[in-house]
Structure 1
């Protein structure tokens, strides 16, 4: 991968991680998490957990206006069009839990889409566990340059705490803290009383080759 595109991807990710949010806002993390890069002898539970995360980082997804693509180690890149997708595999940005009441453990992940010709777009993507394996569903657009603090699943509903631009904020510097709750119907939609961007994108994505 060209160094310039790598640098751009890292800058885009830093813009949505908790360390970049408004002063005084503390990331909320309350779910099981393991560091899958350590070299000690892993417990069977950690082995199983890291295998789950690895599946999420190496599978097919789709985005509005872009169709399907496959992540490898959490990343997809179209270098010709300077376009990248990253799965945020940091603590508090991947959640496991039942989403549809079938008793199976599903997941939701945060995907970041960036290019040097548009914004930094965040998507919430559910992955169901079915009798035939994992199934990625439609990605829900969250916004341009929003800063997600935490992602959890409670009572079959993904819940996001995030900071988004307020009425007087420049797009680069959001300060308005919000909580959004979603549910499957059968795709991921906001629950009653929760607002969501109409997008999915302010600028069309490049064509998937």
Structure 2
């Protein structure tokens, strides 16, 4: 009997040790974090005609080597030989998609193990380009650090080397944004927990003061207030018992590494935020909204809306 008890205790200890959580692996997380079509690069310099600029970021905790990316509508590919954790790299390519739709995919063959394998692509619907009022004429032979223009010289190597970046303020992580406080003109102030907030009714059953707000993809990162820190735009989806899905855009400033929701703007019922970017404070959202004959259930019209954060208020531009 003692032998059986000893064996039982030993097996219990072995099972307990197997059930202990293992430390999270150190892996990269490759993300296409920005796409834009313009005649001006991210440093305000003139480009040779309309070009598409895309930024590849490593938002993980480990280095990524030989990072391949492809723009699917034109078949243009490039490789970044190394991206450290926290680094980003911007490449400029000819904007010659026949449809005006650009889709960038990083690590298209899934050869690099990542923390998140679901955020490797980003699409962009190019509006009718408008020439810039002015831009800076580039100095001959000068290329901004951390970027490379492949649009003017096809003989340039397609293997790129990223320059290190040293942000002054810690970036806002996805986890932080999914557990932050938000303020809505319609729904008041609340805190998400793992991307969800549920308010139960304080009145009768089924009362309209009960609602559920959920985080919705995508998160759009960029500098909203020109202070050099990476801020964020968060999409919120609120339901209050009916068929409506009330979509809001929340501007979250990076205050020394802490999130501060300074403005939340209502976008519409059941509209879709497909993608977007922030450049020089300008916010561009690629959306699907209701055409004149659409039912509320089924928006079908693709549009690009522009916004700006002015005096800590989100303003839609004409």
Q: Give the TM-score taking structure 1 as reference length.
A: 0.65
Which of 86, 90, 99 pairs up with 2:214?
A: 86
1:32 is displaced (CA, Å) by 5.0
Give 1 or 2 for the bigger CA radius of gyration. 2
Which of 190, 196, 199 pairs up with 2:316?
A: 190
Structure in which a larger fraction of residues adopt helix: 1
Residue of structure 2 equivalent to 1:145 = 270
Against the structure 1 CA distance between its residues 157 and 133, is the aligned structure 2 distance closer, same or farther, given a 3 Å change threshold?
same
Aligned ranges 1:50-129 → 2 under 5 Å: 52-80=173-201, 82-88=210-216, 90=217, 93-117=218-242, 119-129=244-254
CA distance in 1 between counterparts of 2:55 and 2:191 reads 27
1:132 is displaced (CA, Å) by 7.9
For these two proteins, the number of residue pairs brought into alignment is 155
CA distance in 1 between counterparts of 2:285 and 2:261 reads 19
Query: SS where residue 102 of structure 1 aligns?
Result: coil
For structure 2, list consecutive stretches of 5 or more residues without a partner in the other structure: 1-53, 63-84, 87-113, 116-169, 202-208
Contact 2:234-2:250 at 8 Å conserved across structures: yes
Query: SS where residue 55 of structure 1 aligns?
Result: helix
1:34 is displaced (CA, Å) by 7.4
Against the structure 1 CA distance between its residues 121 and 54, is the aligned structure 2 distance closer, same or farther, given a 3 Å change threshold?
same
1:33 is displaced (CA, Å) by 6.8
RMSD: 2.8
Query: SS where residue 303 of structure 2 aligns?
Result: strand
Against the structure 1 CA distance between its residues 156 and 50, is the aligned structure 2 distance closer, same or farther, given a 3 Å change threshold?
closer
1:83 is displaced (CA, Å) by 1.5
CA distance in 1 between counterparts of 2:57 and 2:287 reads 20
CA distance in 2 between counterparts of 1:66 and 1:76 reads 11
* Per-residue Cα deviation, 1:109-163 (whole angstroms, up to 9, x for no partner): 1111112235111111110112483210221111001122112212212211111
Residue of structure 2 equivalent to 1:173 = 298
Structure in which a larger fraction of residues adopt strand: 2
1:176 is displaced (CA, Å) by 1.3
Moved over 4 A (4+): 30-36
Q: Give the TM-score taking structure 2 as reference length.
A: 0.44
